[in-house]
Amino acid sequence: MIGKSISHYRVTEKLGEGGMGEVYRATDTKLGREVALKVLPPVFANDSQRMARFKREAHVLASLNHPNIASIYGLEESDGIHCLVLELVEGPTLAERIKEGAIPLEESLNIAKQIADALEAAHEKGVIHRDLKPANVKVTPEGMVKVLDFGLAKALAEPASEAAMENSPTASILPTHEGVILGTAAYMSPEQAMGKAVDKRADIWAFGVVLFEMLTGKRLFRGENTSETLAAVIKDDPDWNLLSTDTPLKIRELLRRCLQKDSRKRLHDIADARIEIEEVLADPSGTLALPAGGVGTQTAWRRVLPWAVAGVFALVAAVGLWPEPEPIPPPSMRLSVEVTPGESFWTVQGAAAVISPDGTRLAFVTTDGQGQRKLYLRPLDQLQATPLSGTEGAANPFFSPDGEWIAFFAGDKLKKVSVSGGATVTLCDAEGNGRGGSWGEDGIIIFAPNAVVGLSRVSSAGGTPEDATTLDKEKDETSHRWPQVLPGGKSVLFTVILRVDKGFIEVQSLETGERKTLQQGGVYGRYLPTGHLVYISEATMFAAPFDLGRLEVTGPPAPIVEDVQTSPNFRSAQFDFSQTGTLVYLTGAGETDAESIFWMDAEAKTEPLLPAPRNYLHLSFSPDGKRLAVEIDEGLTWTCGYMSWNGRRSPG
């Protein structure tokens, strides 16, 4: 072929061959440019039916016009030789690059983004590649990616056996080239390997395989022959341990979604992959990569929880409590968390949602119309939350230090469940919904078993609880709740409730039992790794410098976040934070417990029974129905009597 002319193209060099024919460099003598000629195999060119079909497909493929797709210039015939005239792309194939070893993360992502761009453009025109693999991707010296052979697998398929072609595009064309067969089979989706019809999700699978191999330098699916390779595609799971520990969580999750063997569970649109990669490239450290979704109005919070997301360390710095010079706090973001229709977020007691210590997962509790609760888990680099089975009745969840377990209260028990799912494990008894817990680094959990006792401790493996704190009856203490085990596991921070006081924050040594009051009039205290105590007072979050060694506040508090939703009845607030500097908090609702008590007459007309909204609890009628007992927020119990006559009320 060297030196031969096909139409006005003069062949100058053989570039290679593959399952879809031999490829030559040629000079376009009319336009004076270099092109690539893909000479079709004789078995194909001599089949008039297949050629007619190919010409129809070639018209569609020629319509693809994208900088990351190698162009088709035309279809030529000379002396019985049929060839495609293609854009000549200089540079090595991606397969040649991967043979040298793993490609650095940023370079891999830039290549993957351009591949995704090419697939997105083709999919929008209804064109599926069907044979995406590193050998069909070229990277120019300038870093420009060109995807080759778009749609040729379908164009070259036998009309009577398209399913077989989809199974292995290369094998059907050139069955004698075993290495080529393996190269193609290793990138086929499971549905291709099983002879099923394919759609664009087959390309998404192949994209995931290619990205995995760029990051690891290793073939994802291997076998001694075609059958073994196909079997590996169908049955074997990726070895995620091959990925570097530096691989961003977003990219790990993207790979997992691309490589779902069930195409129904696979990523459905390559544009989503492109967006994820762009976000990681724009923010390699991941500090701004939390998915932020706008929340239309505050009235939508029952179905979409508008958690504000901010850098809590920077917020503390912004009010002058951090010793770094001229800190600039990052902007808050809105994190929309969708729940199943008919469900709402359970914000009655502790935080409705808690964030894992590493800032990558959000766990939250929902309730349906019948008051049935369940626990959901959402990785923050995903848009979808997953219910955790066996967590019915869950309340007040909290993470283990490594983020791999979630403890929660349900069914008068303290339980735990793995973030990977599976059976729940009962740790010990705990009445009602408890009042919060904290999992220490030493494997000991400090928790409030109910609303009217001190704190208890139990092993995270389960066992019999022991007292951790004791109520001081002389001070009229009624409850210790919302504990946090401080770093080192030697002391615990908690909220103290008095019978006639809104609450205050104390710290106690778990070794000596010594207690110190840290903040009067504040509740839901939390220690930050910045060296600060944060707490809630009147729906505002305050921060004060805190000496962990001496267990003392060392400076005045300052407000850092306003309008945090609180629950005065339970002395809790809707916020949580990670050890990596991420704060999540529910805004815009203020104090949630203030309410009125109404009287309804026989005609369904209502009027307030008591003069002003308060935090009313535990309404109870007397046996004769003439008096009503109610507990209000401050803990004082009083009665409001009335007499009923002919459906009307009068003071009594």
Kindly list the catalytic residues: 131
C-alpha–C-alpha distance, residues 102 and 108, integer Å: 9
Among residues 212, 204, 217, 215, the alpha carbon closest in space to that of 237 is found at 212
Q: Which strand (E) or helix (H) includes residue 397? A: strand 395-399
User: Do 439 and 404 contact (CB within 8 A), yes or no?
Assistant: no
Given a contact cutoff of 8 angstroms between Cβ atoms, the answer to whether 445 and 414 are in contact is yes
Pair 471, 432: CB distance under 8 Å: no
DSSP state of 156: T
Place of tokens 């002879």: 195
Phi-psi region of 539 (alpha: psi -120 to 50; beta: other; left: phi over 0): left
The residue among 81, 83, 86 whose CA lies nearest residue 54 is 83
Instruction: Say how far apart CA 578 and CA 170 lie, in whole Å.
Output: 50
Q: Measured between alpha carbons, how far is 160 from 148 in angstroms, rounded to an integer?
A: 26
CA atoms within 13 A on the CB side of 263: 19
CB proximity list for 236: less than 8 A, separation 6 or greater: 221
Structure tokens at 41: 């195999």
Is the Cβ–Cβ distance between 375 and 397 less than 8 Å?
yes
Q: What are phi and psi of 240, to 5 degrees?
A: -65, -20
Rounded Cα distance between 286 and 506, Å, is: 35
Residue of 636, 551, 642 lying closest to 599 (CA atoms): 642
